Amino acid sequence: MAKGFPVNSYTVKILGRAVSAGNILWLTHSGSGIQFNTVAKAVAITLAGDETAVPDEQVKGEESRARYAVLLDGKVIASGLMKSREQRIIVFGEKFVRQAKVSVIKLSESRRSFLGIKNIITDDGSFVTPEVRQDLSIEFIGDSITCGYGVEAKSADEPFSTLTENVCKSYAWLCAKQLNADASFVCYSSYGVVSGWTESGAKDEVRILPKVYEQVAFCDNSKILKGKPWNFNAANSDIVVINLGTNDFSYTRDQSSLTHEFYEAYLGFIGSVREKNPNAHIVCCLGIMQEGDSLFDEVVNAVNFYMKDSKDRKIYTYHFNPVPESEGAAIGNHPSALTHARCAGELASFIKTQVLKIS
């Protein structure tokens, strides 16, 4: 006999910016998800799709659908794109009762699509409980690099698809794993602080991350959670990592007046992040891709001014080492899996020694 469990904080550990609407928990940003423990003979999970799961003429299809992974005791047992409004994933079915840890992770970014979880189904008499939270919590704010954009592509020349985007191979996810931390993500491809990515050099005032930071998430193709504010009190991050500036460089291009405009916008964003995270350590970094690397000087200047003006001593800067050609590249010269792994180790070491003061 089947037994259904709702998906909420009483039954699962909720990862990242995931919120309920109706009877569905919607996973929004990269890395959002759930984790739970169970003692059961069988477990299934019912997923729900947003507008991209049933593409029409107004919505891009295959390349924008939400990508997910289901893990059983740490191993991926199902992965794919959400292609229907509802889909049931069989996690396991056994003859005898077993203990198991189950995770559902949204691998792709919120700008493209959301992924819902409707319920957890087990055999009668079994139960589910939330996985224990880690002692450390980190929020990563970034762009396509943080999303793991194109990291699983076979060629750097491939067109983008959520099928090749995997946050679990990004420097941010791997860094959090090395630090035994829970991670939350706010990352959007092509977004910047003063301008989104622009090929023409004209300022893109739409794809500005500070404009959407206080929302749960923004999605080009879904209205499910449009404009819904995020509850920062519930998040309570210990560390916030900001990795922005790469897309801004397509606008600033080392022009002094535009570079100063970036500085002013970045300075303002530090203040916004501090207001919403009053007790967190803030790490401001840049440098994984060559584009925007020169803006790191302005990041340092903004942090130094903010620290002097506010007497805030819990803010740090970190510059990623340049990417060697030997590490290869993902789509559009984004960092490869090798680069992400190296940068994860470097950032984790910095946070451990300079922020947490662990020798």
Reported confidence tier of residue 61, pLDDT bands at 50, 70, 90: low
CB 298 within 8 A of CB 265: no
**Tens-place pLDDT, residues 297-356:** 999 999 999 999 999 999 999 999 878 888 999 998 899 999 999 999 999 999 999 999
- Mean pLDDT over 164-193 rounds to 98
- Mean pLDDT over 193-214 rounds to 97
**Tens-place pLDDT, residues 66-114:** 999 999 999 999 999 999 999 999 999 999 999 999 999 999 999 999 9
Residue 21: closest CA among 115, 105, 90, 149:
115
Q: Measured at the alpha carbon of residue 305, what is the angle toward residues 303 and 307, in degrees to the nearest 5?
A: 65
Reading the block at residue 105, the tokens are 């992770």
151 contact partners, CB below 8 Å, separation of at least 6 = 164, 165, 166, 169, 170, 330, 334, 335, 336, 337, 340
56 contact partners, CB below 8 Å, separation of at least 6 = none
Reported confidence tier of residue 133, pLDDT bands at 50, 70, 90: very high
Tell whether the model's pLDDT for residue 31 goes beyond 60.
Answer: yes
Q: How far apart are CA 128 and CA 158, in angstroms?
A: 41
Reported confidence tier of residue 205, pLDDT bands at 50, 70, 90: very high
- pLDDT for residue 322: 78
Other CB atoms within a 10 A radius of the CB of residue 128 amount to 21
Tell whether the model's pLDDT for residue 60 goes beyond 80.
Answer: no
CB 13 within 8 A of CB 36: yes
Q: How far apart are CA 153 and CA 170, in angstroms?
A: 13
CB 7 within 8 A of CB 120: yes
**Tens-place pLDDT, residues 262-303:** 999 999 999 999 999 999 999 999 999 887 888 999 999 999
Side chain identity at 32, as an amino acid letter?
S
Reading the block at residue 18, the tokens are 């995931």
